[in-house]
């Protein structure tokens, strides 16, 4: 909503495969929300993450529901279905166009990890992305994003934000679950229970 002075809202967009969502994602979104005084952060689970097509990804509805569970307690967080309800590969250019139409009075801040930001020119219509949103790159353990990695990203459209180092990845959470190790406190409690209830990330069968 626009206030009487016509001020534009600031909305964060946190896209991800979220297989599963973990506290690294949630801390990054919370830090960026506070840093930019965002009105809200919209989490957008991917439908078909084409750059992860070489590996098995859990059903979109499971990833969506885990994201809803993980964000439910924060009044500034919500989850959008735009990417999972669109058919075909998921491209951020479509995410930003769809959200821009839904939120015409908002300035968008797309939140990514530093690793993802360094690869942004492999994304579809990369040049156009910077016309639709600001980009916020979160530092992540193991990634030292020097200014050369930002390459041709327009400087006025990108900000790097240092967040408390959290060495958590979805890959590690899946592997720990497959090995029967706990993921308590790496992911929200409700997500631990969702993974168990729906038998996500089962132990892989050893071939004799
Ligand atoms: N610990 C973390 N701290 C900050 N950002 C993160 C962290 N983990 C992931 N991200 C960022 O969150 C976004 C969504 O990530 P994604 O859902 O692919 O999780 P992931 O942990 O990187 O998954 P995977 O290990 O399966 O590749 C990406 O922009 C990614 O760079
Ligand atoms: O637009 C693209 O071509 C593109 C390519 C790779 C990743 N992305 C987006 O980057 C975000 C993080 O993706 P991922 O695969 O690291 O979970 C998510 O919103 C993806 O849709 C987007």
Taking CA atoms only, the protein residue closest to ligand 1 atom 22 is 169
List the one residue out of 106, 107, 110, 115 whose CA is nearest residue 94.
110
pLDDT, tens digit (0-9, with 9 covering 90-100), for 42-99: 999 999 999 998 889 999 999 999 999 999 999 999 999 999 999 999 999 999 999 9
Average per-residue pLDDT in the chain?
Answer: 91
Taking CA atoms only, the protein residue closest to ligand 1 atom 29 is 112
pLDDT, tens digit (0-9, with 9 covering 90-100), for 8-36: 999 999 999 999 999 999 999 999 999 99
Tell me, using a 6 A CB cutoff, whether residue 91 lines ligand 2. Answer: yes
Taking CA atoms only, the protein residue closest to ligand 2 atom 19 is 15
Local confidence band at 205 (pLDDT 50, 70, 90 cut-offs): low
pLDDT, tens digit (0-9, with 9 covering 90-100), for 147-160: 666 777 888 899 88
Q: Are strands 106-113 and 134-138 parallel, antiparallel or unpaired?
A: parallel
Cα separation of 66 and 166, whole Å?
A: 20
Backbone angles phi, psi at 102, to 5 degrees: -70, -30
Q: What is the pLDDT of residue 165?
A: 66
DSSP 30-73: HHHHHHTT-SEEEEEE-SS-GGGTTS----HHHHHHHHHHHHTT
Ligand 1 contacts (CB < 6 A) are 16-19, 24-25, 28, 112-113, 115-116, 138, 140, 166, 168-171
Cα angle value 171/141/17 (rounded, 5°): 35
- pLDDT for residue 145 is more than 80: no
Tell me, using a 6 A CB cutoff, whether residue 16 lines ligand 2. Answer: yes
pTM for this entry: 0.94
Helix, coil or strand: residue 132: helix
Residues above pLDDT 70, as percent of the chain:
90
Q: What is the pLDDT of residue 162?
A: 84
Cα separation of 78 and 137, whole Å?
A: 20
In ligand 2, which atom is closest to the CA atom of 46? 21
pLDDT, average across residues 186-191? 98
Contact 79, 90 (CB under 8 A): no
């Amino acid at each position: 909503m626009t206030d009487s002075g016509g001020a534009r809202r600031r909305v964060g967009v946190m896209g991800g495969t979220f297989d599963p969502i973990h506290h690294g994602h949630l801390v990054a979104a919370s830090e960026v929300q506070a840093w930019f005084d965002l009105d809200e952060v919209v989490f957008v689970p991917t439908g078909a993450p084409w750059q992860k097509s070489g590996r098995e990804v859990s059903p979109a509805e499971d990833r969506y529901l885990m994201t809803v569970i993980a964000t439910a307690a924060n009044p500034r967080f919500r989850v959008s279905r735009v990417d999972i309800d669109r058919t075909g590969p998921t491209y951020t250019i479509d995410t930003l166009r769809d959200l821009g139409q839904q939120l015409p009075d908002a300035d968008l801040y797309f939140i990514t990890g530093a690793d993802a930001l360094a690869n942004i020119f492999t994304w579809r219509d990369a040049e156009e992305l910077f016309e639709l949103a600001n980009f916020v790159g979160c530092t992540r353990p193991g990634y030292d994003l020097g200014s050369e990695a930002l390459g041709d990203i327009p400087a006025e459209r990108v900000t790097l934000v240092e967040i408390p180092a959290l060495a958590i990845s979805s890959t590690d959470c899946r592997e720990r679950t497959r090995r029967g190790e706990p993921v308590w406190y790496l992911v929200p409690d409700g997500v631990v229970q969702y993974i168990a209830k729906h038998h996500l990330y089962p132990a892989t069968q050893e071939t004799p």
